[in-house]
Chain A
Amino acid sequence: MTAVPHVLPYLVAVWVFLAGAYGLATSRNLIHAVGCLSVCQAATYVLLLAVGYRDGATAPVFSDVEPGTRPVVDPVVQALALTDVVVGATVTALLLALVVQVAKRHGTVDPDELTELRG
């Protein structure tokens, strides 16, 4: 095995995170910004799953696999990723609700036009 396939998922995670952060920093629309935040979060899924991956291993479901007979991928990171998904859903829902209120109260979803809080 060469090193590249092992490093690739980590590079992908970094790239996805930075792409999301770039989108957030330059966003002109708050709904787009919330989407970018979800992209950043997707990087954490990639990273978690990459950490638990093993070559030639199967899913850690022992209904049809005798324990100890063949390697399985790490179930802990999958549990973490699942928790992470739940957290992400909550945050996204709340953020979108706030964006709806921002649109109602300010009449815009462009962060450049929100100038009430500064200095």
Chain B
Amino acid sequence: MRHLLPLLVAVPLLGAALLACVGRVVPRAFAEAVGCAVSAGTAALAVVLLLDASPPLVEWAGGWEPVAGHSVGIVLVGDGPGLGMAALVSLLTPAALAYSWRSFDAPPRGNAGSFPALVLLFQAGMCGFAIAGDLFNAFVWFELMSVVAYALTGHRVEEARAVQGALTFAVVNSLGAYALLMGIALLYARTGELAMAEIGRELDAYGPPDALVLAGFVLVLTGLLVKAAAVPFHFWLPDAHAVAPTPVCMLLSGVMVELGVFGVWRVLGTVFSGPGGLPAADVERALMVLGALTAAIGALMCWYQRHIKRLLAYSTIAHTGLFLLGIGTLTLEGDDGVALYVVGHAGVKAALFACTGILLDRFGSVDEHVLHGRARPLRGVAVLFTAGALGLAGLPPFGTALGKSVTEEAVGGPLTVVYVLASAVTAGAVLRVAARVFLGLGPRPQEAAGDEGAYETTGSGEEPETRQPLSRVPDTMTAVPAVLLAGALAAGAVPGFADAVARAMSEATTAGLVQTSVHWTPVGVALGLVSTLLAVGLAAVAVVRPKLLAPPARALPLRRLQSGHVGDYVAWLLVGTTVLGVLALPAVLTG
């Protein structure tokens, strides 16, 4: 079975190559059918491997196995979390492709295969990253998925905003990737190994961490946190997500950002967890501080948006902060919770983006104020959008709710408040949009005179992704979010799923020695209900009395940070690297 692991990458790569070759001569329907078939086939393979991932599958590509403890080969690791991420990626990709059938007219009209080919390449990169057991290979897959993501974000090259967002995305992420590579080089210099588990072993053999290990840690984490969009590395994300085509947004927010968190978890667990890595207290401090900051800023900025895609992008940032807090506990319970949370969040967030795409194609705008009351006829979409918002808040029995309650329990103490508030504020913002756009509740937001120069991005400059605005909503565009929401619901409601996740995490981190049990608790359900009620309350107040919760002048400096200027974002990246170094510095001073 383990020999099939490389196929997770090879199948979508070959599919992409095929589509790129024949894309010019085949009709669009054929190209998209091939794209869907290949990505769904990969998904089936990922699920089959996942069911067989106990004990974890380890494949040395080409049979280059380690000799006397030293390796020159490339290792692929198919354990529960890795294959789980690959399966999540591979299940979301066909959903995005199916959504794009009717919603999205890819611009190069001559080449029907280019968009599905790029999506398949994206899938290959993400699957490769998920199962990489070799640090340098993880970098290569990181770059592959990044480069394809830049191209997909700027796919509509005719649009001014799209190319600007893609350029910002590309510069910041590439710089992060180079930091990651420098960190890998430093770790290789110390250990002479590239496979993650071997690096960890050699570091432990060398002795307590010194400045070089700290530098390697900081640089590697910088690269991964840029991908995970942790504050202050997050600035590229709203700009990229606001302009990317909707099917691409579903993949970016649903799984790519989460892969950054997964990378952090993987590196912490296999490379830096031993006595030669960083002490747990320092890692915990770094992740807790960055995670709490990310959740707070993401939630606050989410509340202030009127561009719906941007609002959802900030909610992704807030949730990334919650994921980082969860893995920052460095406990198995925290990992279990985050794994479930990521699965639930992927379904909910992709469904919300899909619903927003319907608004864009139907009305040619994604601006909350402009769309006020205009989407009243779209009852089905309204139900889906509201259900997505409730899932985001963590209403039981969504998978997000179960994941959140398990993580809250692992984090414990005052940080529980961060979970409740961040999920309530982001879900409240989405519910506010639902109430205004789909129900037309509350007064119509007035544009103050001279408001054109306000420091914000409106959603009215967006072009529909179809050639002409849709007169009615195609079935695929509503079926896809419905299926995704059902998946998110099943992740929390199907008995046994949570236990399977817990078993897989335990096997990957402790070789199955420590067993955890994951289940609904009264406290968790109560906190989920509190978040949901809080979200509904916030949305109600915002709709009925818009002045009360409007962004105060005090918030302007925070908004000004998101300047759209790529130079500022690079400067923030360097600041973030420094902060990370300072937070982890005690590891070396005391050691």
A30 at the interface (CB under 8 A from B): yes
B373 vs chain A, min Cβ distance (A)? 24
B32 at the interface (CB under 8 A from A): no
In Å, the complex CA distance between A87 and B158 comes to: 26
B189 at the interface (CB under 8 A from A): yes
- Once the chains bind, are B157 and A101 in contact (CB under 8 Å)? yes
In Å, the complex CA distance between A48 and B185 comes to: 6
Name the A residues within 8 Å of B175 (CB-CB): 21, 24, 37, 40
- Once the chains bind, are A43 and B167 in contact (CB under 8 Å)? no
Minimal Cβ-Cβ distance residue in B for A83: B140
- Once the chains bind, are B150 and A94 in contact (CB under 8 Å)? yes
Minimal Cβ-Cβ distance residue in A for B565: A111
- Once the chains bind, are B163 and A116 in contact (CB under 8 Å)? no
- Once the chains bind, are A95 and B167 in contact (CB under 8 Å)? yes
- Once the chains bind, are B170 and A94 in contact (CB under 8 Å)? yes
- Once the chains bind, are A44 and B185 in contact (CB under 8 Å)? yes
Minimal Cβ-Cβ distance residue in A for B212: A10
Name the A residues within 8 Å of B161 (CB-CB): 116-117
A20 vs chain B, min Cβ distance (A)? 8
- Once the chains bind, are B181 and A25 in contact (CB under 8 Å)? no
A115 at the interface (CB under 8 A from B): yes
Which residues 153-183 in B have Cβ within 8 Å of A in the complex? 154, 157-161, 163-168, 170-171, 174-175, 177-178, 181-182
A11 vs chain B, min Cβ distance (A)? 13
- Given contacts A95-B170, A114-B564, A76 and B154 within 8 Å (CB-CB): no
- Given contacts A21-B574, A44-B185, A117 and B456 within 8 Å (CB-CB): no
In Å, the complex CA distance between A2 and B300 comes to: 54
- Given contacts A25-B574, A116-B457, A101 and B150 within 8 Å (CB-CB): no
B416 at the interface (CB under 8 A from A): no
In Å, the complex CA distance between A83 and B157 comes to: 28
Minimal Cβ-Cβ distance residue in B for A40: B178
Minimal Cβ-Cβ distance residue in B for A93: B147
A80 at the interface (CB under 8 A from B): yes
- Given contacts A114-B564, A118-B562, A25 and B570 within 8 Å (CB-CB): yes
B64 vs chain A, min Cβ distance (A)? 12
- Once the chains bind, are A117 and B165 in contact (CB under 8 Å)? yes
- Given contacts A37-B175, A116-B564, A87 and B170 within 8 Å (CB-CB): no
- Once the chains bind, are A106 and B160 in contact (CB under 8 Å)? yes
In Å, the complex CA distance between A26 and B574 comes to: 13
B30 at the interface (CB under 8 A from A): no
Which residues 70-103 in A have Cβ within 8 Å of B in the complex? 76-77, 80, 83-84, 87, 90-91, 94-95, 98-99, 101-102
- Given contacts A25-B567, A76-B72, A117 and B182 within 8 Å (CB-CB): no
Minimal Cβ-Cβ distance residue in B for A44: B181
In Å, the complex CA distance between A17 and B174 comes to: 13
- Given contacts A24-B567, A119-B559, A37 and B167 within 8 Å (CB-CB): no
Name the B residues within 8 Å of A95 (CB-CB): 150, 167, 170-171, 174
A64 at the interface (CB under 8 A from B): no
- Given contacts A21-B175, A80-B136, A94-B147, A27 and B170 within 8 Å (CB-CB): no
Name the B residues within 8 Å of A105 (CB-CB): 158-160, 163
- Once the chains bind, are B567 and A91 in contact (CB under 8 Å)? no
Contact mask for chain B residues 557-591; partner A; CB cutoff 8 A; 1 contact, 0 none: 00110111111101101100000000000000000
Apart from A44-B181, A94-B147: 7 A-B pairs, beta carbons within 8 A: A24-B566, A30-B167, A87-B140, A87-B143, A90-B147, A118-B563, A119-B455
A residues apposed to B, CB below 8 Å: 13, 17, 21, 24-27, 30, 33-34, 37, 40-41, 43-44, 47-48, 51, 76-77, 80, 83-84, 87, 90-91, 94-95, 98-99, 101-102, 105-106, 111-112, 114-119
6 smallest CB-CB distances across A and B, nearest first, come from A105-B160, A119-B456, A118-B564, A117-B564, A101-B163, A51-B189
Q: What are 22 sample pairs from A and B whose C-beta atoms fall under 8 A apart? A: A13-B182, A25-B574, A37-B171, A43-B182, A44-B178, A48-B185, A51-B186, A80-B185, A80-B188, A87-B143, A95-B150, A95-B167, A95-B170, A98-B150, A101-B157, A106-B160, A116-B164, A117-B239, A117-B242, A117-B564, A118-B559, A118-B560
